[in-house]
Amino acid sequence: MLAILSPAKSLNTDLSVDRSQISTPQFLEEAAELAEMMRGFSPSDLASLMKLSDKLSALNAARFEEWSIDHQSEDLLPAIYAFNGDVYQGLDVQTLGADALNRLSDRVRILSGLYGLLRPFDAMRPYRLEMGTQLKGQAITSLPEFWKSRVTETLNSLLNGEPLVNLASNEYSAAVDLKSIDGPVVSPVFKDLKNGEYKIISFYAKRARGLMARFILESDAQTTDDLLGFDYDGYAFSKEYSKPNAPCFIRDPESR
């Protein structure tokens, strides 16, 4: 069983973490091609493309300008520690036990607009390039299409018919040809009670995706049925709200 996650917009840059397992991203040549293309955009261009503030657009223009294919630098963080959004707060990798941490490299992959597909301990340079960015007029106009065959082929080589657990957003899972995955594809849904109805609430759902990844690592889940035991942070499987290949987990956040 392999889980795929979206990256996060928020990044850590100065954590003190173990770099002994650090690896090199598989698609560095392709990432270099994209970084070179992105250098052609001014800070104001980036602000418009990705709806960034002036401060963030200037920061990310500088990051693309400084980006290098050399990923051997000792100051680079492994991807699993570099991302710092809601999903990664749910996963909370720094508190994983030894057994779960040992499973991490085999059980989790991170989709990326710049790197395509990252292993947890792949060295990563700070960047901002969302998968849904519209690059009109460029040689590469669609990042999902640019990455789809590469990412799908790589995932199939890892899965060997085992389940793929899609914990990525629609924006990022668009970089995977899910219909061509050689094995079951399971896309869990997380709903919280609000105003008397169970609804997908973005903040909670993102964190729950990270919690599900943590559950897979800690429980050593192997099958889709194993996933139904997910009960972290008050969630429980609901047959009523589930659909084929989309098990739903519900929670009343007020009752935690």
Q: Decide if pLDDT at 238 tops 80.
A: yes
Q: Evaluate whether residue 123 is within a structural domain.
A: yes
Which domain covers residue 180, as residue numbers? Answer: 2-184
Per-residue pLDDT of 107-126, as tens digits, reads 999 999 999 999 999 999 99
| Residue 44: inside a domain | yes
Which two three-digit tokens encode residue 6? Answer: 């979206």
Which pLDDT does position 165 carry in this prediction?
A: 98
pLDDT recorded at residue 255: 63
Asked whether residue 77 is domain-assigned, the answer is yes
Range in 10-24, 57-71, 120-134, 157-171 with the lowest mean pLDDT:
10-24
pTM over 0.85: yes
Is residue 225 in a domain?
no
Residue 90 lies in a domain: yes
Q: How many domains does the chain have?
A: 1
Give the model's confidence band at 256: pLDDT under 50 very low, under 70 low, under 90 confident, else very high.
Answer: low
Predicted pLDDT at 168: 98
* Burial zone of 196 (CB within 10 Å; 0-12 exposed, 13-18 middle, 19+ buried): exposed
Q: Is position 198 within any domain? A: no
Domain contains 224: no
pLDDT tens for each residue of 72-100: 878 899 999 999 999 999 999 999 999 99
Q: Is residue 193 part of a domain?
A: no
pLDDT score for 15? 79
Predicted confidence (pLDDT) per residue in 10-43, tens digit: 999 877 887 888 999 999 999 999 999 999 999 9
Mean pLDDT of 124-131: 95
Whether 253 shows a pLDDT value over 80: the answer reads no
Cα–Cα distance, 233 to 123 (Å, whole number): 31
Mean of the pLDDT values across residues 228-249?
96
